Structure 1
C-alpha cells in the first residue's frame, strides 16, 4: 500500500512539473504564435488531467475541452462539447446563453472554410441563421453575451505570454491559462464590432429604443433608456430599473421588460452616462426615484402604472424608492437586495475589503470600469499588501494608490446610524408600505442577509404586508434571473431550476394586468428544500422549522452528545496572535480525500446522525465567552460531513461582538468577564441531511485580508493598526455556548 501511495505521489508531481514545447519566439512573433497555439491545445487535450475530468467532473471537463478544441481549430467538435457543457450549466433560457459568442465564432469558422468566403460574410450568415432560432427572451441577452472587452482580453493574453519570455517550454497550468486567454482575445477581436452592429440592427427591427436625459426637481441630470416593442402601440405599464452599472445592461434590462409586453425604462444613477452630478452611491436614490417614477408615469406610452425590478444594488434601489412612495408605483420585485449598512459595505458591522474594489468599479468613469474590477490579481495584491503592512483599514485606499473619499465616508459610520437609516425605510417607515412586493434571494446569495432583513422588518411593522418571498439554492446571480443547474460545483434539484425572469413577470402580470397569481406563491414564504426535489410554503419564518436542536461547544467523545446540555462547566481556550501575518493555513482532515480549513477556528464535531433530518431556517444561538480585550470579531461555520466524507457548507455567521446585541450602538466587552454574544443574521438554508452524516461547527476569530481586523482596543476599528495588537487575543469558549439549529420534521 505504501508503495502505491508513493508511486501516486511521484506521478502527481511529474504531472505538475510536466513541460510542453513552446518556443520563446511565439512571445514576440504573432505568426509563430498562430502556428504554435493549435499544437499546444492539441497536446493538452490528450493529457490525463483533462481526460480524467470526464469521469470525475463532467462540467469542468466540457468547459476545458470546448475551449481547447476551438484553439486547436476543431470547430465541429467544439460545438458539440459546448452544447453538452451548456446543457449541464443551465437547462433553460438563462445563463447558458452567455457562451453564445463562442458558438458564433465556431460556426462562422466552419462556414468560412466550407464555403470559401471571408470570415466577415460567414459571421453575418451564421448570425442571421442562429438569430432566427432564438426565443425573444434569449434575444434580449445577445447584446451583453457578445460584448467582450477586446482591450482587456488582449492585456490578459499578453500577461500570460510575458511569463514565457526567454523560455522554450510551458507548464501545464500556464498552458491552460494561455489557451483560455488567447481564445478570448481571438473571439472578441474577431467578432467586434461587427456582431454588435448586427445585434443593434436586429434590435432596431424589433424595438423602439430611446435614450434621453431628464431633470429632477433638484435639477440633477439622469439618463434614462426606454424600450418598447414596435408592435405594442397602446400605453402599457412601465417596468422601471435603477441601474448604477451603466453600459450594455441598460438596453438589456429595457428589452427584457419589452418582450414580456411592458415598457422597459432603465434610469442611471447620478454621475453616470450624461450626468455630471457627483456620484455618491446609495445616497440619493430615494429622492431621485420619486421624480423618475413621476416622469415615466406621465409619458404617452405609459398607462400610469409602474413596477420596479432588479438585483443587488438595483434591488436596494427599490427599497429606497418606497421610503417615499409615489402613487404610481404599484409593486416592486427586489432581488438579492443589498441591505445597505446591514450586509454591505459591512456585514454585521465588519467592513469588507471588497468595498473599495466596488467603489472604484462604479465611480472610475461614467459607465463601469470592468477591466479594473475584474483584475482580481491586482485587488488580491492590494488586500494582501494591506494585511501584511499592519496599517489601519483606513489606509487601504492609499495603499491601492488612489485615495477615496467615499470609502473614508463609509468608514466614518461603523454602526447602523442615521447615515445608513435615511437611505431606505427604517422601522416605522415600513408600516406605510402597502403595495404588493415579491422578494427573491438564495441560500448562496452574498446579499441574503440584506434581502431577508427588508422582508422581516416589513412584516414586523406592517402585519398586513402583502409581501412574498421565494428562496432556493441560488447564488447572487441565480436569484436575479441568471439561473444555473450547478451552484458551487454541485447540481441543484430539478424542482429548483425555475426561471426567475418568468416568475417576476408573471408577478407583474398578476399585479399590473389583473392576471393569475404565480402558482409557486402558495404562502408568504416559498422555499426549496435541497436534496428533496420539493418546495415548501409557510406563512412566516418560525414555520420553516418544527423544532430546534442546540449544538453545544463540546467534544462528543467526552460527552453523551453535542446536542445535550453539558453537565459540567468548562471551556476551550483559543489564542490568536494578530501580529503574525505569515501564519500558515491549518486544515482538519474529515475524510481520506477532504479537509476543512480551520485557521483561527476551534473545531467541534457531532456524533454520526442515526436518521435523516432537514435543517431549515436561520441558525441562531448564543456564545458565552471571556476575552482579555474589549472586542473581537467572531467567525462561525456550520458544515455537514456527508456519508461519503465530503464536506458541505450549510451556514456562516460573522459579527463584531460589540455590535452583536444592537447594530446601531457599540457595547464593548469587559476583559475577563463572561459575556454573551447572540447569534443573529446568520445565513439561512433548507436542506435534507442524510443519515450517516455528521455536523461540524467551527467557531473562531475573523483575521484575513478580506475584512477589517479588530485588535480589541475599543477604538474605532478602522483606525487600529498592528501596533494596537499588543498581546495575543485569548478567548475562553464556554461549553454551554451553543448554535441553535432549526429542524423540520413532517
Structure 2
C-alpha cells in the first residue's frame, strides 16, 4: 500500500536539469516524513540510517545528514575500523555548509572541508580515502538517466521509485562535483607523506609485471617489504602500498600478467608460483629492502601466497593468507561442482587492463544470463556463449572437473606442504565464501608437515570482514563485541612479531583461535580436532518414529525424494518453523530435532555419511543445518555441497551404481562456532543441488558440463536411508 502512494513530480524534470535541481530537494523532504521510513527504523536501524542520511543530503539538510551518517558508521562498525567508507558524502555536505556559511565558491569550500577532515584522521584511515572517493561517475550518470527515463510522460512518482531516484541523483551529484578535485587533493597529500614509484619487472620468461612501491618519507633506512600480488589492478594497489607504509614497512604491490602495463596473456591463477618467486628475488635486492619479505592479501591475493610457497624463496619469511581461494577446491568449483559466478569473475578481471567494475556490478545482467541458461536447458559449457562473450579460460577450467594436475601445479600439493617451514597466519570467517579454501591449505599443511608454525584466526566474518575488520553485523546478525577486531592490526602486529622481533599478538594464544558466537568470548585450541570435545549424530529420521533424531534408528528405513530435472518452472516450497519464520525447502527433505533441554555449543564443521540409493549414476547433494531459536527465528549454521561421484576422491570420479546403496562421506563443510540456547531446535535439510547458480548434474555419467536437459530422462529418485547421519561437533568446558 505504501509503495502505491504517489508524489507530485513534474514530467519536465526528466529532461530539464533546472527543474530537476529544484524538485529533488522537495521530493526528498516529502519522503523524510513518510511512515515507511519510520517503520524501517524499528525493523532495521542500519537500513533506516542509510536511507535517512541520503534523503537529508538531497533535501539539503547537511548538518542533520552528517549526524545521521555518523550514527550509520557506528551501526555499520561500532569502532573507527570502518574508516571512511562513506566519506565522499561527508566531504560534500561539509563543503556545502562552508559554501553557504562563508560565502565562498564550492571548489574552495571543498578544499577547506577536505583539509579539515584529512587532518582529523589517523594515518591508518587516510590510506582508504582514495578508494572511498573512487566512484564511477559515468556509471552514476547512466544510472540516474535510467531512473529518470522510467518517469517519462508521468507527473507523479511512487514511493519506491522516488527512493531509487533520490539515491541515484545523490550518487551522481556527489561524485561528479567532488571526485575530480578530491582525487587531486589526495594525490597532493600522498606526495607530502609517501614516496611512490611504479616500475615494470621483466621476468626470465620475457613477461612484464608492473609493481608499485610505497614508502613513508620519514622512513629512510631499509625495511622489511610487505608484498601483495594483485590481479585486481586499480586504485586498490596504491591503498595496499600505503597501508603497509603507515605500519612502517615498505609496501610493494605487483599486478599479475596482462594487467596494467603488461601486454602478456592474462590467465588467472596459472603463473603465480613462477612469477612471484622472481618478484620476491627482485624486491629483496632493492636498497629500500632489508632482505626480508612478507606477503599479505585476501581471496585471490590469499591464493597467491600459497602459490608463492610452492617454491619458497629464501627472502620470504612469512605469509598472511586471508580468505584464500582454494583453487580447484572451492573455486571455480566447490567440491567439484562448478559455479555460474566463475564466468562473471573471469570477465571482471580480463575485460581490460584494470578491472571491469561496471560489468561486475551489473547484477541484473548476470542474473538474467544465469536464468536464461537455466531456463534453456542448454549445457553449462554454453554459458559463455549465452553471455555473448566466449571465454577460453571458462572452457579450459571446465575441462578439469576433477582436482587433477592442472589445479595441483598452481599451489602446494601433498608432500609440497612438508617443505613449508615459515610462520603463517591464516584468517577466515564463518560466512567467508572461501572458507573451504582457506581451511584446505591449513589442514593440508598440518597433515604433511610434522610441526607447522601456522596459526588460524576464525570468527563471525564474511569474505570482506576476514580481510579487513569485524563489522557490527555479519550475515544479517549482530556479532559479539569481542569479535569486532581489526584484521589489519592483527596482521601487521604479526609482521612486527616475525619480521621485527616484536611481541606475538595477544589473540594468538594457541594455534587455533576461534570466536564462539553468542558468548562474547574467544577460545583457543592446539588443533582443529580440539575445537570440540564430543560429537552428536543427527540421523535422517522422522521423530514420529523415534524419541530423538540423535538416537540410532531401531529399524532401517528410508525417505524417498523425487527431483524432475526437466521442470524449470517449479514453485519454491517453504516449511514454517514458527509463526514468524519459514525455511526454503525446494528440492530438499526436512528433518527436525526435538526442543533442546540445555545450552550447547556447536564448534567445528559437519561430518558424517549419507547412505543413499538412486536410479542414476550421479547427483549433487545439498545440505543445510539450521538453528530454530527460542524466539522462532531461523539461523543458518552450516552448509555442504558435493558431487557424489567425487565425494570419496576429488581427483578421480567414481560413478554410483543405479539401485545400489552407496555411501557418500561429508567433508569440506562450513566451520561454525556458536552457542545454541536451550529451547532451540536443530533443523537439517538434505537434498539435490538444482538452481541457476551451479551446474546441473543430470546423472548420466557424462561430463556434467556437456549434459543438457535432453539428458534428464526420468526424474531422479533418491532413497535417503535413516542410518545416514550428520555428525555435529560439540564443545563443552
Structure-1 residue corresponding to 2:409: 422
Instruction: Report the Cα offset of residue 175 of structure 1.
Output: 1.8
- Provide the rounded CA distance (Å) in 2 between the counterparts of 1:168 and 1:108: 33
Work out whether 1:188 is the aligned partner of 2:159: no
Q: Aligned partners of 2:700, 2:6: CA distance in 1, in Å?
A: 52
> 2:461 matched to 1:440?
no
Indicate conservation of the 8 Å contact 1:477/1:483, yes or no: no
Q: Structure 1 CA distance, aligned partners of 2:473 and 2:442?
A: 27
User: How far apart in 1 are the matches of 2:130 and 2:262?
Assistant: 24
Aligned partner (choices 521, 540, 544) of residue 557 of structure 1: 544
Match of 1:654 among 630, 641, 648: 641
For the residue of structure 2 that corresponds to 1:681, the secondary structure is coil
The Cα offsets for residues 260-288 of structure 1, whole Å up to 9 and x where unpaired, read as 00000000000000000000000000000
Residue 628 of structure 1 corresponds to 615
CA shift digits 1:517-575 (9 cap, x unpaired) = 11111111000000000001101111000100011111223310011111111111111
Contact 1:636 1:654 in 2 (8 A): yes
Deviation at residue 727 of structure 1 after TM alignment: 1.1
Residue 664 in 1 paired to residue 651 in 2? yes
Q: Report SS of the residue matched to 1:654.
A: strand
Determine whether 1:713 maps to 2:688. no
- In 1, the alpha carbon distance for the partners of 2:81 and 2:144 equals 29
- TM-fit CA distance, 1:481: 1.2
8 Å CA contact retained: 1:241, 1:310: yes
Q: CA deviation at 1:96?
A: 4.3
- Structure 2 Cα separation of the partners of residues 483 and 372 of structure 1: 28
Q: Which runs of 4+ in 1 moved over 3 A?
A: none
- For 1:236, the equivalent position in structure 2 comes to 223
- Among 74, 80, 98, which residue is 1:111 paired with? 98
Other-structure match for 2:80: 93
What is the distance in 2 between the residues matched to 1:593 and 1:92?
A: 32
Task: Return the alpha-carbon distance in structure 1 between the equivalents of residues 153 and 367 of structure 2.
Answer: 27
> Is 1:339 paired with 2:331?
no
Counterpart in the other structure of 1:6: none
1:564-643 correspondence to structure 2 within 5 Å: 564-643=551-630
Corresponding position of 2:192: 205
Secondary structure of 2:119's partner? helix
Q: Using the alignment, how far apart are the partners of 1:488 and 1:159 within structure 2?
A: 31
Deviates more, 1:36-45 or 1:451-460: 36-45
Shift of 1:165: 2.0
CA contact (8 A) 2:281 2:313 kept: yes
Aligned with 1:315: secondary structure?
A: helix
Deviations, residues 464-490 of structure 1 (Å, cap 9, x unaligned): 100000000000000001431111222
User: Aligned partners of 1:62 and 1:459: how far apart in 2?
Assistant: 46
Equivalences for residues 125-274 of structure 1 within 5 A: 125-274=112-261
Equivalent position SS for 1:279: coil
| CA shift for structure 1 position 443 | 0.3
Q: Using a 3 Å threshold, how does the CA distance of structure 1 residues 368 and 306 change in structure 2: closer, same or farther?
A: same
1:310 aligns with 2:297: yes
Alignment of 1:318-717 (within 5 A): 318-717=305-704
Measure the CA separation in 2 of the matches of 1:570 and 1:305: 62
Alpha-carbon contact 1:92-1:499 (below 8 Å) kept: no
Deviations 1:49-95 (A, max 9, x none): 11012222211111111111111111110100110010111123333
Whether contact under 8 Å (1:241, 1:267) holds in the other structure is: yes
Partner of 1:737: 724
Unpaired runs of at least 5, structure 2: none
Matched, 1:295 2:282: yes
Give, in angstroms, the shift of residue 215 of structure 1: 0.7
The TM-score, its normalising length taken from structure 2, stands at: 0.99
CA separation in 1, counterparts of 2:524 and 2:259? 41
Contact 2:469 2:485 in 1 (8 A): no
Secondary structure in 1 matching 2:310:
helix
d(CA) in 2 for partners of 1:150, 1:283: 34
Aligned residue pairs total 733
Match of 2:36 in 1: 49
In the alignment, the residues of structure 2 paired with residue 175 and residue 100 of structure 1 have an alpha-carbon distance, to the nearest angstrom, of: 24
**Deviation for aligned residue 1:588:** 1.2
- Structure 2 Cα separation of the partners of residues 737 and 155 of structure 1: 54
RMSD: 0.9
1: CA distance, partners of 2:149 / 2:541: 53
Looking at structure 2, the residues matched to 602 and 166 of structure 1 have their Cα atoms a distance apart, in angstroms, of: 50
Q: Is the 8 A contact 1:285 1:321 kept in 2?
A: yes
- How high is the TM-score relative to the length of structure 1? 0.97
Per-residue displacement from partner, 1:292-321 (whole Å, max 9, x unpaired)?
000000000000000000000000000000
Q: 1:558 to 1:18 in 2, by over 3 A?
A: farther
Give distance in 2, aligned partners of 1:301 and 1:115.
Answer: 46
Q: Are the equivalent residues in 2 in contact too, given 1:624–1:677 (CA < 8 A)?
A: yes
> Does the aligned pair in 2 maintain the 1:236–1:263 contact within 8 Å?
yes
Contact 1:102 1:187 in 2 (8 A): yes
Tell which deviates more after alignment, 148-157 or 199-208. 148-157
Could you say what secondary structure the match of 1:202 adopts? helix
CA distance in 2, matches of 1:703, 1:170: 39
Gaps of 5+ in 1: 1-13
> Does structure 2 conserve the Cα–Cα contact (< 8 Å) formed by 1:611 and 1:691?
yes
Query: What aligned pairs does 1:23-38 form with structure 2 within 5 A after superposition?
Result: 23-38=10-25
| C-alpha displacement of 1:735 | 1.0
Paired with 1:318 and 1:343, the residues of 2 have a C-alpha distance of 16
- Secondary structure of residue in 1 paired with 2:279: helix
Kept after mapping to 1: 8 A contact 2:300/2:325? yes
Residues 471-512 of structure 1: CA distance to partner in whole angstroms, max 9, x if unpaired? 000000000014311112221101101110000000000000
**Which of 120, 124, 138 pairs up with 2:107?**
120
Q: Distance in 2 between matches of 1:332 and 1:662?
A: 29
Cα deviation 1:431-479 (Å, max 9, x = unaligned) = 0000000000000000000000000000100011000000000000000
Structure 2: distance between partners of 1:659 and 1:401: 31
Residues of 2 paired with 1:357 and 1:482: CA distance?
26
CA shift for structure 1 position 218: 1.1
Cα deviation, 1:167-225, whole Å, max 9, x if unaligned, reads 22222222222211111111110112100000010000000000010111111100000
Partner of 2:62: 75
Distance 2:106 2:708 in 1: 59
Taking the aligned partners of 1:284 and 1:115, their CA distance within structure 2 comes to 57
SS at match of 2:118: helix
Maintained 8 Å contact 1:90/1:96: no
